Structure 1
Amino acid sequence: MVVLAAGGAASAFLVNRGDTSQAADQTAAAVPVNTAEVTQQTLKDTESADGELGFGTTSAAVNRAAGTITGVPDSGQEFRRGHTVYSVDNKPTTLMYGTLPAYRRLSDGSEGTDVLQLEQNLSAMGYTGFTVDDEFTEATAEAVQEWQEDLGQDETGAVELGSVLFAPGHIRVESVEAQEGAPIGPNQNVLTYTGTTKAVTVQLDAADQRLAKPNAKVDVTLPDGATVPGRVEKVSTVIIPAESPDNDPETKVEVIVAIDNQKAVAAWSLASVDVTFTASERKNVLTVPVAALVALREGGFGVEVSDGTASRYVPVKTGLFAGGQVEISGAGIKPGTEVGIPK
């Protein structure tokens, strides 16, 4: 089975041939000199875009309390759950997993999704004796005290705002913005981070958003020419600031492409790649070259069917155009049917 990629010339060709008029089922004057066979294959309407291979979306670790930076990591350093990412006033900020950012102090009596997220992490780190739910109880406080003791901190049983950094998973430090020994206030960035898994970032024009379908499969062409499969993991709208006061900001569609085969991209920390998106696909359809289509006098399109001794024009319905081919269907049209290619 052949798989074909899209070509932008298909519709333009039809417009240029719109003055060709023949009656349906009319016998042609002669057997066509140039012919092609109807084939059954898969058509893919694809478009390619430039992408950047890296570690995906960058996030910021924001300080929550005034103090002095007493510990920062190095760029490129990786952290897992339970690791200290940085310290303020010699108090560690610990990485835990979750999608909800820390936004308040948690203590006995607190309730909510953030409590559940905290308790899930405490349990995963080996602390026991409490029920993993959305209620911060005395048993939760005892587990927090054990955790604080292991960190060498005061055993208060409460989780202060700023003592935990929640991230979806393992993180890699992208850049460090705070300097050890320097004062820092609330809402100042300490560092930026990414995930530890390689991913591709693509910025599409807003008009091309149709290409970015969540979980859609894509092909990623690497700098060495090799192609690896990818999957659209995240789609978001971003605003690109104007380069000058005379220009307007641009709206882009940012696409994060996940790559399951991490070994295939291990050789590159950062690289430009090509990403091929499939806008639409038609499997096991009958196709002919776009050049085989003729405009019929009574409307619509047809093809000149030849049996080697005579030919006639047969109306057809058209479907997907891709790679110079067009999907067709019509009476008597089947794989192997000979059709004429007009000069």
Structure 2
Amino acid sequence: MTGAIRRSRLRAAVIGGVVLLVAAVGVTAAVGFGGGADPAEAGNAPPATATVTRQTLADAETADGELGYGPTRTATAKLGGTVTALPATGSTVQRGRALYSVDNQEVVLLYGGLPAYRTLAPGVEGADVAQFERNLKALGYTGFTVDDEYTGSTADAVRDWQEDLGLAETGRVEPGRIVYADRKVRVESHQVDVGDLTQPGKAVLAYTGTSRLVTVELDVDDQRLAKRDAKVSVKLPDGRAVAGTVSTIETVIQAGAAGANGQSGEAETKIEVTVAVADPKALAGFDQASVDVVFTAAERRDVLTVPVSALLALAEGGYGVQVADGEASRVVAVTTGLFADGRVEVTGADITEGTTVVVPT
């Protein structure tokens, strides 16, 4: 995915509004607020008008997204040896099952957000112990208390687990024997082949989640769009739009492309946003596909709005609109709010729904 954000209608409206404001100041005398100009001198063309409208105003921005299974993660080996088994690409691996095997011994998938980073043995305490014990209990092993202490009782349960896996019954859990993921995973690709030698730090396979998701990469400048649980609209390749919700937000650092001298360029920081769609069945028939994701950056409900081009820059500062009252007109100062879709939120004395305002041309 490119991650490039198309220019928002808000920005276009604001830029257009500034240009029109300048033009409006130039035609002040011609449209006659206070100048008394003869319409005949303006080609007998009456000034254009618009109506103050009450509506919901939304500042929406569209980003490029990728339909798939969410962010891709890499499982790296923590043991040296020969890769003897790999799950098929596209297959699903759940808790307690082998993610791959080294020297014909399983490396098991467990659930959790904290990576395995040290050997667990009697006397060790910490959050990683509690995470492992929760998994051990979920797999049906008993006789220990799920807490942050790795006791002799935990070691006894681990020996039972190791026996079932065909591993040496040490009662200790080495970090190279387990891999943690948030939930069951889908194998995306292999980084090695069965029979290859591996060593600590070498990538073995890539995996994703199992739910169909949309992933969007935003520039840091557009971070304001990334709000957890925010509602978005996903436009599919066939033109349909489905509702979605921002589920996860992560900051990722992408390595720069290698230059002619072989050195990597400057790293780039991106905001990776994952969107879950409300109706997964709507995604049937699509595998990997590009989609448009419409974020609503701001919204104002039930507000009075006028075209941006109706705003006038006042000499004393701020903005006003020219209110048409029969053949006469007067300038009314207004306070502006949200700009979107070529309109702007306004409040001010004598500004009500249905009021007619002049739109300078």
TM-score by length of 2: 0.86
**Which residue is 2:104 aligned to?**
90
> C-alpha displacement at 1:151, in angstroms?
2.0
* Matches for 1:189-200 after TM superposition, within 5 Å: 189-200=203-214
**Which residue is 2:311 aligned to?**
293
| Matches of 2:249 and 2:12, distance apart in 1 | 27
Residue 22 of structure 2 is aligned to residue 18 of structure 1: yes
- Kept in 1, the 8 Å contact 2:324–2:330? The answer is yes
**Which residue is 1:320 aligned to?**
338
Name which of 133, 141, 146 aligns with 1:132: 146
Per-residue deviation, residues 37-86 of structure 1 (Å, max 9, x unmatched): 11111211122121111112211111111222121111111111111111
Amino acid of the residue matched to residue 239 of structure 1? Answer: Q
Paired residues in the alignment total 339
Residue 187 of structure 2 is aligned to residue 173 of structure 1: yes
> C-alpha displacement at 1:156, in angstroms?
2.3
Which structure: greater helix fraction? Answer: 2
Per-residue deviation, residues 86-135 of structure 1 (Å, max 9, x unmatched): 11112111110001111121122221111101001111112222111011
**Which residue is 1:257 aligned to?**
274
Q: Which moved more, 1:238-247 or 1:306-315?
A: 238-247
Name which of 213, 220, 245 aligns with 2:260: 245
> C-alpha displacement at 1:217, in angstroms?
2.6
Q: Which moved more, 1:202-211 or 1:224-233?
A: 202-211
Q: 1:182 to 1:342 in 2, by over 3 A?
A: closer
Residue 88 of structure 2 is aligned to residue 74 of structure 1: yes
| Matches of 1:320 and 1:180, distance apart in 2 | 59
> C-alpha displacement at 1:181, in angstroms?
2.3
**Which residue is 1:101 aligned to?**
115
Unaligned residue ranges in structure 2 (runs of 5+): 1-7, 40-44
SS in 2 for 1:18: helix
Name which of 1, 8, 21 aligns with 2:12: 8
SS in 1 for 2:176: coil
**Which residue is 1:227 aligned to?**
241
Amino acid of the residue matched to residue 273 of structure 1? Answer: V
| Matches of 1:286 and 1:32, distance apart in 2 | 25
Name which of 288, 294, 303 aligns with 1:270: 288
| Matches of 1:257 and 1:327, distance apart in 2 | 32
Q: Which moved more, 1:166-175 or 1:210-219?
A: 210-219
**Which residue is 2:5 aligned to?**
none
| Matches of 2:214 and 2:92, distance apart in 1 | 19
**Which residue is 1:307 aligned to?**
325
- Kept in 1, the 8 Å contact 2:187–2:208? The answer is yes
> C-alpha displacement at 1:28, in angstroms?
7.3
| Matches of 1:217 and 1:225, distance apart in 2 | 19
**Which residue is 2:3 aligned to?**
none
**Which residue is 1:183 aligned to?**
197
Amino acid of the residue matched to residue 14 of structure 2? Answer: A
| Matches of 1:54 and 1:48, distance apart in 2 | 19
| Matches of 1:57 and 1:173, distance apart in 2 | 12
Amino acid of the residue matched to residue 95 of structure 2? Answer: R
> C-alpha displacement at 1:248, in angstroms?
4.2
> C-alpha displacement at 1:19, in angstroms?
5.2
Q: 1:201 to 1:254 in 2, by over 3 A?
A: farther
> C-alpha displacement at 1:314, in angstroms?
0.9
TM-score by length of 1: 0.90
Unaligned residue ranges in structure 1 (runs of 5+): none
Amino acid of the residue matched to residue 17 of structure 1? Answer: L
**Which residue is 2:225 aligned to?**
211
